[in-house]
Amino acid sequence: MSAATADVSRSALVNGPAVHPERLAEALGLLPVGLHVVTAFAEGKPAGLLCGWVTQASWTPPLIAIAVGRGKHTHQAISDSGAYAVNLLREEQTDIARVFGAKSGRDANKFAGLDWRQGRTGSPLLEGTAGYLDCRVTQRHEIGDHSLFVGEIVQAASFAQQCLVYQREVHQSLFVE
Ligand SMILES: Cc1cc2nc3c(=O)[nH]c(=O)nc-3n(C[C@H](O)[C@H](O)[C@H](O)COP(=O)(O)O)c2cc1C
């Protein structure tokens, strides 16, 4: 492909017609994600949300990136504390996933009935999960309607060999009331 052709196809990708919303939703619904409860501790209270957009970003130093909607209650707690923990749910912990994914901490105490303790950064670590990554925020980037928080892992543990993996197109019923 010549340089000119490459430029044309790149510009078609950038300036082409908007992606059809249904095609977009179907394709994104195929993306497998782990379901994790991302927590933070601020103003003397725990906060947490269900987070699928979590990825390792570096080995040395060990970095994890999470994308959190700027309107979320937990976004404020991460911003205030400068830290967060990624709690990796076990395959069978779908009830916890529903609680943390369906309600906002502004309206409900999502930690009621759960055992948790504060990790090294102060972020809540849920008992009984498959593992956790306790992180201190090192960078923040504003991306679309989310903030990408990059965190250095300061403490980590795993207690199981599998965690809860989700594909919206496959697990349609998981978050239906
Ligand atoms: C399967 C699933 C994955 C989600 N992933 C994310 C995510 O990666 N980032 C995000 O900001 N919200 C995500 N959410 C939405 C939040 O978990 C949800 O809005 C939550 O109620 C926000 O709680 P908060 O306001 O207490 O922080 C997800 C929800 C579901 C059902």
Task: Kindly report the pTM of this predicted structure.
Answer: 0.91
Give the pairing type, strands 165-166 and 131-143. unpaired
Q: Where are the domains of the chain?
A: 34-175
The atom of ligand 1 lying closest to the CA of 47 is 26
The predicted pLDDT at position 4 comes to: 47
Ordered per-residue pLDDT tens for the chain, 177 residues: 454 444 544 444 556 678 899 999 999 999 999 999 999 999 999 999 999 999 999 999 999 999 999 999 999 999 999 999 999 999 999 999 999 999 899 999 999 999 999 999 999 999 999 999 999 999 999 999 999 999 999 999 999 999 999 998 888 788 876
Of the candidates 47, 41, 49, 33, the one whose C-alpha atom is nearest the C-alpha of residue 118 is 41
Query: Measured between alpha carbons, how far is 45 from 25 in angstroms, rounded to an integer?
Result: 35
Chosen CATH of 34-175 out of 3.10.129.10, 3.30.160.40, 3.90.79.10, 2.30.110.10: 2.30.110.10
Q: How far is the CA of 7 from the centre of ligand 1 (A)?
A: 37
The predicted pLDDT at position 171 comes to: 82
Exposure class string for 103-129: b at 16+ Cβ within 10 A, else e: eebeeeebbeebebeebebbbbbbeeb
Tens of pLDDT, residues 93-126: 999 999 999 989 999 999 999 999 999 999 999 9
Q: How far is the CA of 34 from the centre of ligand 1 (A)?
A: 12
> Where does ligand 1 bind, in terms of residues with CB under 6 Å?
35, 49-53, 67-69, 72-74, 100-105, 166, 175
- Tokens 């990408």 belong to residue: 148
The predicted pLDDT at position 15 comes to: 60
The predicted pLDDT at position 13 comes to: 56
User: Which structure tokens are listed for 127?
Assistant: 């008992």
- Tokens 């309206």 belong to residue: 107
Exposure class string for 133-166: b at 16+ Cβ within 10 A, else e: bbbbbeeeeeeeebbbbbbbbbebeeeeeebbeb
The predicted pLDDT at position 72 comes to: 98
Beta bridge partners of 103: none
Contact partners, residue 7, CB within 8 Å, separation at least 6: none
